[in-house]
Amino acid sequence: MWNKIDKVLFGFEGYLTGLLLLGSTLLLFVNVFLRYVFHSSTTWAEEAIRYAIIGSSICARRGSHVGIDIFAQLMPPLGRKIVLAAGQFISAAFMLFSTFYGWQMFALVSNTGQRSPALLMPMAIVYFSMPLGFMLSALQFIASGIRILKGPGELEMPQNMETFDLSRLN
């Protein structure tokens, strides 16, 4: 069941971030074109681009978030597995904590009826991206921790996660 949820969640995130990135890129191109060719750009493009860039949960899924794994590298395979999984679950706990406070900020802005300065869109939409992004990240960190624990006995470092070369310490 978890694999189905994980697959649907990753598909949703992938399409959403892909569409937002594509839209941001096109909007940025049009805005730069307008600025340099017609010496006038839109007043709202930079604001829209800023709001459209979401992607922390994709980083959590792919293991491309910032991390320090020197202790895990120094441990035997079982210890490495435990330390890496614990790191994922601690990150998930932080994301859940952030989801709670992000939701509170979203609720506060929703109640005030604020609108963005340039697009005049409800700021609640912008603020909703915080609890949504944090929650999706938490789910991805949990899934990553489970994958690490269920993985083979001899644990390799997660894909796309760069490791610190201990030989550089000498």
pLDDT in tens, the chain (170 residues): 777 877 787 777 767 766 776 787 788 889 889 988 988 888 788 777 766 655 555 666 666 555 667 777 888 988 889 988 998 999 899 989 989 998 998 999 899 989 988 788 888 888 888 888 888 888 888 988 998 898 875 555 444 444 434 443 33
Long-range contacts of 24-28 (CB under 8 A, 24+ apart): 24/48, 24/49, 24/52, 24/53, 27/52
pLDDT at 160: 45
Q: Residue 92 burial (CB < 10 Å; 0-12/13-18/19+)?
A: buried
Helix (H, G, I), strand (E, B) or coil at 122: strand
pTM confidence score = 0.61
* Alpha-carbon dihedral sign for residues 161, 166, 168, 169: positive
The whole-number pLDDT of residue 75 equals: 85
Angle between helices 77-112 and 123-150 (to 10 degrees): 170
Q: Which residue has the tokens 């624990």?
A: 149
Half-sphere exposure of 170 (CA within 13 A, CB side): 3
